[in-house]
Each structure stands twice: as structure tokens, then as C-alpha cells.
Amino acid sequence: MNFVPKTKNYKQKVEDSFKLQKFMDFIGAKLIKVAPGFCEIHLPYNENLTQQDGFFHAGIISTLADNAAGYASFSLMEEDASVLAVEFKLNLISPGVGDLLIARANVLKSGKTLSVCRADVFTMKDGVEKLCAASQATLIQIKKL
């Protein structure tokens, strides 16, 4: 879809907000790409982010899906807006086995207040991407508190 951001500095707005997320910094996530209605986040493998079998933990996979969807929708919001998730559903498709997690989100519908996004999370192993999780999220535009 072709979306037009409501502010010229949408990319900087997303980057600045991402830098404020201490949890993203804590786990080592990196904002890779932002375009109108799109976001991509990467997370290198870290043993501290795994479950008992050494796979990326579902909570980490969910976090990346949530953040990618949030920032995809945030890229289309007003200058003075903030974004919050209202709901999201995550389907875990395959174990989080790999050297890298890649979350890519696209806005499906951008409304005045609510947006609907799809986020897919992939694992990268030996240069091959594999779908790990699929998510759909509803996000709300709110005035900064």
C-alpha cells in the first residue's frame, strides 16, 4: 500500500522514539528500516534471550512483533502523537532457531485513531530466512502525555 506520512520528519520521529525504549537497547534490538507504514527491526542471537531449549523466547519474538507494528503505524501518525498497542495476536509458526530475528511490519489500515498492522517475524540461520511468527495488531494514536 502507498501511505503518505502526516509529517515530513516521520523517520526521525520513529528513530527518536525507538532510542527512548530502554528495553530495546537492553535486549540489543536495532531499528533497521522505516518507511511510511513499514518498519523492520533486527535482534542478534543472545543466549540470555532464550528459553530452555536455546530458542529465542516467545516473549522476545512477541516484543519484536509488537514494536515493529507499533512503529509502522507510528510512522503515519501526527507529529504530536504517541502510539500504544490496543491488542495483538501472535501465531508462533516455528521455533525461534537462528542467529538473528527479523521483524517486519506493514500497516494494513491507517485510521484517524486506530491502525491495524501485520508483523511477521523471521529467524535467519545460515543466510536463510524462515517465518517464525505472524502477528496482527491494533494500535491507537494518543496525544503525548
> Tell me, what's the pLDDT at 118?
98
- Cell numbers given for 44: 542478534
Strand-pair category, 100-110 with 81-92: unpaired
Position 2 scores a pLDDT of: 83
The answer on pLDDT for 42 being more than 90 is yes
Residue range 18-47: average pLDDT?
Answer: 97
Q: What pLDDT does 145 receive?
A: 64
Q: What is the dihedral of CA 57, 63, 38, 137, to 10 degrees?
A: 110
